[in-house]
Amino acid sequence: MHKLGIIVPYRDREEQLKTFVAAIKDYIQDIDYQIIVVDQQCDNDFNRGKLLNIGFLKAMRLGCDYVVFHDVDMLPVKVDYSYSPKVLHLVNDLRVPEGFKRTHFDEYFGGVTLFPVELFKAVNGYSNEFWGWGFEDDNLMLRCVKAGLELDTKVITQRGRDGVALEFNGKDSFVACPNVFNSIRDFTVFINFQIDQIEQNPKNITDESSIFSIPGRDTTLTYNSFRNFAFQFWKKDLSSMNINSAHYPEGTYNVAITIGNRKDPKEVKFWMNGREIGRLAYDKMMDIKQAKYFYLGVGDPEREEKNNWFDGRISTFAVYPEVLDQLSLERISNNIEHSLFQVIDAEPILYYDAKFVKNQELLDLSGNGNHGRCFNTYGTVTSRQDTMNVPIPFRREGVLKGLKHDENGYVDGYWKTWQSRENQLRYYKQFYDKDYDYNKEGVNNVFYTKIGEEVNDNVVHLKVALT
């Protein structure tokens, strides 16, 4: 029989710890297991990765041959903790209290994660460098990729035309377009674009790149340093609304935004490659017709900061005066050869194709004369890619109950602490570094001072100070 070590990083959540230990003891009946609580007793920022490395070393001394790294605020409802020769993520369905958000995405590798001992050694454990909240689990996934561990794969379909695109440099290039939008009418925005690596500015709390934007209180489609797309708009009462995508790597995408202003309930839908990925209902949209221009490639070039410059290429941009249905969106998203006029019957009120630029004007092919003025852009040849294979964890179906606690990460569009932002910058530096060597630091060189140890039945409570 395999012996399981359940390793819990912990500080100052006494009631949750009592609830967790009782829940585990009540739930696990047929597995030989040991709970190892690693309690950070020093005043340093919390270091989840380092605590889990310390717990792993203890688990090996106790004869465990596989481990589960388990947050104290996640209780088992229906979870299989049995041995697996593969690395597994066990958070398939997390039920959280009302009003408490917990972000889930395909690459998510935190919360509850299972490793055979030998595979955790193979990736050299967690990094010890992530203090405060966030990104130690992203780094662990990167280590699994670098070490060549067997992982699941997410296939991302890409659609783009061989042809010409406008190149945006991420610094000062944009297109100023006459504003054709009206907040009392229906419309659909369709855009084909390719994203390059987003530049991260350590002086900013986050990084956003506007693919298109109606400035002011920006109505905008962005790509950010979380590798998410987001569509933001504002209601008449000046409260913001956001639809966020899952994580997408740099690549070629077709995005459509449908805005239904003429029906009740009014509704915004976000489409990726012809498939709906999110929607929001609202009462009244903020007036967006007052802006003289909307922009491609920037939030607002007139701002002194947070311009949100776009680094990438745009091939097609079109606006329709109606809410296109899914079949129409699938057809224009899968189009790789023809003009949009040849794909669906609907007539755009604005249509840009990057092949048609004359005297620095991006020509409006709709016939309405709303040509865009190009600044510091140039045409470049593009080619499409059909698929991208993105490594993600294998998951075992399971249901867990989340306990409510103070949010420590990203709150209302801002990091709660700058330390989390520094963790993000550190992780992406490692991610894009082809020579990143996970063997230089990890479980093989974790430093700490043992303050005390308490043993009660099959619960070991280690008290440590981190150095």
> Which of 315, 320, 294 minimizes the C-alpha distance to 175?
294
Q: Which CATH architecture has domain 163-387?
A: Sandwich (2.60)
pLDDT (tens digit, 9 = 90+) per residue, 295-350? 999 999 999 888 999 999 999 999 999 999 999 999 999 887 778 998 999 999 99
Q: Of 165-169, 239-243, 246-250, which one has max mean pLDDT?
A: 165-169
Question: CATH 3.40.190.10: does it fit domain 3-151+393-466?
Answer: no
Q: How confident is the model at residue 129 (pLDDT cuts 50, 70, 90)?
A: very high
Q: How confident is the model at residue 424 (pLDDT cuts 50, 70, 90)?
A: very high
| In the chain, where the domains are located | 3-151+393-466, 163-387
Write the pLDDT tens digit of every residue in 53-76. Answer: 999 999 999 999 999 999 999 999
pLDDT digits (tens, 9 = 90+) for 357-403: 999 999 999 999 999 999 999 998 887 667 888 999 999 988 999 88
Question: To the nearest whole number, what is the mean pLDDT of the chain?
Answer: 92
The strand pair at 93-95 and 350-358 is best described as unpaired
158 pLDDT exceeds 80? no
- Range scoring the smallest mean pLDDT among 83-92, 104-113, 131-140, 417-426: 104-113
Same-fold call for 3-151+393-466 versus 163-387: no
For the residues 17-22, what does the mean pLDDT come to?
A: 96
Answer whether residue 414 shows pLDDT above 70. no
How far apart (Å, rounded) are the C-alpha atoms in residues 98 and 110?
21
pLDDT of the residue at 382: 80
For the stretch 30-47, pLDDT in tens is 999 999 999 999 989 999
With 60 as the cut, is the pLDDT of residue 101 above it?
Answer: no
